[in-house]
Amino acid sequence: MNTNKFNNWNKNKIIIEKAEYNKIFNQWEIWYAKIWKNIWFEEDWKWKNFSRPILIFKKFNRNIFYWIPLTSVKKDDIFHYKFDWKTGKLSYAILSQMKLIDWKRLEDKIWYITFSDMKKLKEKLKKLIL
């Protein structure tokens, strides 16, 4: 692993940890979130500043939630849910990589998923995990 990237992430993590205000977020919103390098096939950061777009799937309280990473790479299978958002760009929610994270990782709200897509995504997730 590149030591400079690791050191840069540690600097970012200190800033994230010191966050003092709680961002207001809701289920089904799409945000940029600070995500570090994961292991092997786990989805991780996408851009230089360690962030990637995520979907807030289930909010438990004002501090933690389940998130689903998003990708623009075409993946039309049982592990992904395809939807159209914002400027007509297709996105794929990586259902198999849903995780619990803290609000401190959130950066900026980008958009939201429609009610229709929300229902379809839930059904596809149920089929995947049951």
pLDDT in tens, 16-57: 677 677 789 999 999 998 876 554 344 444 545 667 899 999
Query: Whole-model pTM?
Result: 0.79
The domain that holds 36 is classified in CATH as: 2.30.30.110
Per the CB < 8 A criterion, the answer to whether 91 and 82 are in contact is: yes
Q: Return the closest-CA partner of residue 50 out of 68, 69, 36.
A: 36
Rounded Cα distance, 87 and 33, in Å = 20
State how many domains the chain has: 1
Taking the C-alpha atoms of residue 81 and residue 77, their distance in angstroms, rounded to an integer, is: 8
By the 10 Å C-beta count (0-12 exposed, 13-18 middle, 19+ buried), 7 is classed as exposed
Q: Which residue type sits at 15? A: I
| Each residue's pLDDT tens digit, 98-130 | 999 888 889 899 999 999 999 999 999 999 988
In 3D space, the residue among 127, 89, 130 whose CA is nearest the CA of residue 111 turns out to be 89
Tens of pLDDT, residues 55-71: 999 999 999 999 999 98
| Two structure tokens written together for 113 | 């998923």
| pLDDT value, residue 72 | 87
